Amino acid sequence: MKRSLIILSIFLLLVGKANGQTKHSFAIANGNFLLDGKPIQIHSGEMHYARIPKEYWRHRLQMMKAMGLNAVATYVFWNYHETAPGVWDFKSDNRNIAEYIKIAQEEGLYVILRPGPYVCAEWEFGGYPWFLQKVPDMVIRGNNKQYLAATKSYFTALYGQVKNLLVTNGGPIIMVQGENEFGSYVAQRKDIPLEEHKKYSAAVFQQLKDVGFNVPFFTSDGSWLFAEGALPGALPTANGEDNVDKLKEIVNKFNGGKGPYMVAEFYPGWLDHWAEPFPKVSAEVVAKQTKKYLDAGVSFNYYMVHGGTNFGFTSGANYDGNHDIQPDLTSYDYDAPISEAGWATEKYNAIRDLLKTSKTPEVPAKINVIAIPEIKLTKAVSLESVKNKIKPVNNEKPLTFEELNQGHGYVWYSKKFKQPISGKLELNGLRDYAIVYVNGQKVAELNSYYKNYECTIDVPFNATLDIIVENMGRINYGAKIVNSTKGIISPVIINGETITDDWNMYPLPMDKMPKLADAKSNAKAGQPALYQGTFTLSKKGDTFLDMRDWGKGIVFVNGINIGRYWSVGPQQTLYLPGCWLNEGTNEIVIFEQKNDKIQTSIKSTETPILEDLQPEKGDVK
């Protein structure tokens, strides 16, 4: 019996090692991060599972390990998993976060989990499900019953997926973040008493613990915002703090006079908006700052080490004094050390030279890249013919996306006028981009980025006014995140008159690739259209669709929405992962909103174009 138990124990130990399940301990004590009781410096990189095809997760994690990192950090996107109220998805597409974390462990990386509930991340609505705005009396990121009930439900669902992956249960998750950059929000929302802010942040922190998370916690904020964002019982870390002395001083102040010291967001690049220059950070600057942290014993997390892509409608938006919305690019390249397509950059090599040891693996081979010389588009279908098959919602005034129970995509607003009207059209409640037509003729392009909310209009007797509105991504950062409804959210005014009665609204969520098999080619220049084509490949590989000859829209390939394009740039290509292509026949569908000319083909290129700014193509006077 004793011999059998010994054999069983050895077998279980070997199985555990084979599965990468050797149990470790992790703690924050005596001013250090302690792994199995020994001090460790965390060299982490932020990389989000939702922004990478699941087929490439292992490759990207191997790229991180080969750069010399020992941990990966990831946000969890609440709205990526609660797809409808009470409907949870942790399996389809790129949503299997548990699998992502398991692969990280297999590749020798620890995991830092950042569940929010708010994440920012240049992600649609900062990670919040859009339908929270429909819940009566709910105020997001606030101390109210409805919101806290929703966060508890989210944390409970998430814990069910990752509980076995916590370091306390033999997994790789060593730390969990409490809230996210909450000090920034306190600074932005001075209309809310600090006491209420503190009650909220304490409540969600307690929820994380109550549902079962039992690993060390941390918070992250700018070093000047610790008083508002720090939580008792969580290690404060300073985002973007390059001054080591200042970092240690502020952490000591809020952590009992000791470390450990960590920069939870060390920026080797920066975020990008449409119609704005692509920001760059040099490899020399990043390497110099990395060495400073290494020499001072400061742990760090590169945000981002690999950005990936905002596929579909996942990109969010910011705003400033000059723009009511600054929509984020489809590409989340971020000028990161590992490029959008997973390539090692000069920055990557500079960091690897600093971090590599005798145990650092070789850099993985680059995924195959191809160029498709020309894809013939054999069908061009008017969007109007698609819209005419949709039963409209009729109301006395235009309804928002949320009132139409629609999260993303487009809404076609239409009104028939029995009497003529002319003058100034005011669309002050536009969120975010619209093309205006009278009897099918384009009158204007209006949008929130350029604060273009009005135009001169002449609607004759018995004419139809059509306004096709695009949601370009909900606000992901700042006080205005609580005002993120989309569509037409205030009255339409012409010549000083509020236009009411008999508005028809046609939802066009574009949540699936439009089916055009039975549609006829009837597109006209100047009116929105859907293009379809097929192409055959003998060999698969990553590529970049060249959108420089197009206006504005989205692209589906083999049923997958690979993201938005817009002629203003700076992004002029769309990353198309080879794992989503077929050897043999492939299908492409393009929704072109502006459609200034009829297109007949599209090409691809082997290199991305992310720095070609053409703002004059979007600034309609």
- Residues annotated as catalytic are 181, 265
Q: In terms of domains, do 560 and 529 share one?
A: yes
What integer pLDDT is reported at residue 114 of this predicted model?
98
Strands 497-498 and 493-494: antiparallel
Domain assignment of residue 3, yes or no? no
Instruction: Spell out, as residue ranges, where the chain has pLDDT lower than 70.
Output: 1-21, 619-621
Q: In terms of domains, do 438 and 468 share one?
A: yes
CA proximity to 607, closest of 303, 258, 369: 369
DSSP one-letter code for 579: G
Q: In terms of domains, do 466 and 323 share one?
A: no
Strands 433-438 and 463-470: antiparallel
Secondary element (H or E) of residue 162: helix 145-162
Domain assignment of residue 171, yes or no? yes
Q: How far apart are CA 49 and CA 52, in angstroms?
A: 6
Q: In terms of domains, do 473 and 560 share one?
A: no
Q: In terms of domains, do 452 and 336 share one?
A: no
Q: In terms of domains, do 452 and 521 share one?
A: no
- Rounded to a whole number of angstroms, the CA Rg of the chain reads 26
Q: For residue 252, what is the domain's CATH number?
A: 3.20.20.80
Q: In terms of domains, do 496 and 519 share one?
A: no
pTM to 2 decimals? 0.95
Sign of the C-alpha dihedral, residues 295, 296, 301, 304? negative
Q: In terms of domains, do 474 and 560 share one?
A: no
Domain assignment of residue 386, yes or no? no
Cis peptide leading into 129, omega within 30 of 0?
A: no
pLDDT, tens digit, for every residue of 274-287?
Answer: 999 999 999 999 99
The DSSP bridge partners found for residue 183 are none
CA proximity to 63, closest of 330, 370, 355: 355
Strands 262-266 and 299-302: parallel
What integer pLDDT is reported at residue 620 of this predicted model?
56
Phi, psi of 208 (to 5 degrees): -55, -45
Q: How far apart are CA 572 and CA 560, in angstroms?
A: 19
As a whole number of Å, the end-to-end CA separation of the chain is 87
Q: In terms of domains, do 168 and 196 share one?
A: yes
pLDDT, tens digit, for every residue of 310-347?
Answer: 999 999 999 999 999 999 999 999 999 999 999 999 99
Per the structure, the count of domains in the chain is 3
Q: For residue 577, what is the domain's CATH number?
A: 2.60.120.260
Domain assignment of residue 134, yes or no? yes
Domain assignment of residue 411, yes or no? yes
The DSSP bridge partners found for residue 464 are 416
Domain assignment of residue 71, yes or no? yes
pLDDT, tens digit, for every residue of 439-482?
Answer: 999 999 999 999 999 999 999 999 999 999 999 999 999 999 99
Q: In terms of domains, do 193 and 316 share one?
A: yes
CA proximity to 508, closest of 365, 393, 380, 359: 393
Domain assignment of residue 596, yes or no? yes
Domain residues for the domain of 212 are 39-355
Domain assignment of residue 588, yes or no? yes
Residue 79 to residues 27, 125, 315, 466, 618: CA-CA distances in angstroms?
31, 8, 12, 31, 30
* Residue that is last in its domain, among 472, 500, 528: 500
Q: In terms of domains, do 435 and 304 share one?
A: no
DSSP-assigned states of every residue in 296-320 = HT-EEEETTSB--B--TT-B-EE--
Q: Which tokens is 416 given? A: 């028939």
Helices (H), 356-391: 383-387
587: left (phi over 0), alpha (psi -120 to 50) or beta: beta
Q: In terms of domains, do 441 and 324 share one?
A: no
